Amino acid sequence: MIDDDNVWLDAKSGDSIYAVLGQQAAAPTIQLPAKCPECGNMTLHLFFHRYYDNRGGGWAWCSSCHGFGHGGSNVPKWWINSPDISMDMLTAVPIKLDQVHDVVDRHWNTLLDSMATTDSDIFRRSTLMTDGSEQV
């Protein structure tokens, strides 16, 4: 008897899930966990790991329906490896990554926030310029 909770699906359902990683690679725009394109639950996780230069792997998976995609990937320039994820967690099927999805999500969101810093700084400065009561 197969335990359905342990079955991970890299068949058709994984394609739309992995596509989200491709869409986010150019520039991340979504906070994690995100909405799974297959089951609609807010349990989609995304992760990269750089081995050297731009070479590495990419993972996208859903903790609810267990759809996933993984492949060798050109890791985007903005990606910084997580210091909390060790190599032995980087299995093709993201079973171990899913066990630490909170760490994965926090790392992604930190990178996302750091990329948004420039824009928000400009916004803050322009706000201060129109508000004479505040000084930087």
Considering the complex, state which of residue 38 and residue 75 has its C-beta at the smaller distance from Zn ion.
38
Listed in sequence order, the residues at least 6 apart from 70 whose beta carbon sits closer than 8 Å to its beta carbon are 10, 18, 57, 58, 59, 60, 92, 93, 94
Taking CB under 5 A as the binding criterion, the range among 18-26, 35-43, 72-80, 114-122 that sits at the site for Zn ion is 35-43
Q: How far is the CB of 38 from Zn ion (least distance, A)?
A: 4
Distance CA 71, CA 61 (A): 12
CB contact at 8 A, 59 and 46 = yes
**36 is a contact residue toward Zn ion (CB under 5 A):** yes
C-alpha 135/C-alpha 28 separation (Å) is 32
| Site for Zn ion contains 98 (CB under 5 A) | no
Q: Using the rule CB under 5 A, is 65 a contact of Zn ion?
A: yes
Pick the binder of Zn ion from 9, 39, 95, 103 (CB under 5 A).
Answer: 39
Looking at the Cβ atoms of 45 and 49, the one nearer to Zn ion is 45
**Rounded least distance, CB 12 to Zn ion, Å:** 13
In this complex, which beta carbon is closest to Zn ion, that of residue 41 or of residue 81?
A: 41
> Is 25 one of the binding residues for Zn ion (CB under 5 A)?
no
19: its two tokens: 């596509």
Q: Which are the contacts of 55, defined by CB distance < 8 A and separation ≥ 6?
A: 72, 74, 75
Q: Tell me which residues touch Zn ion (CB under 5 A).
A: 36, 38-39, 62, 64-65
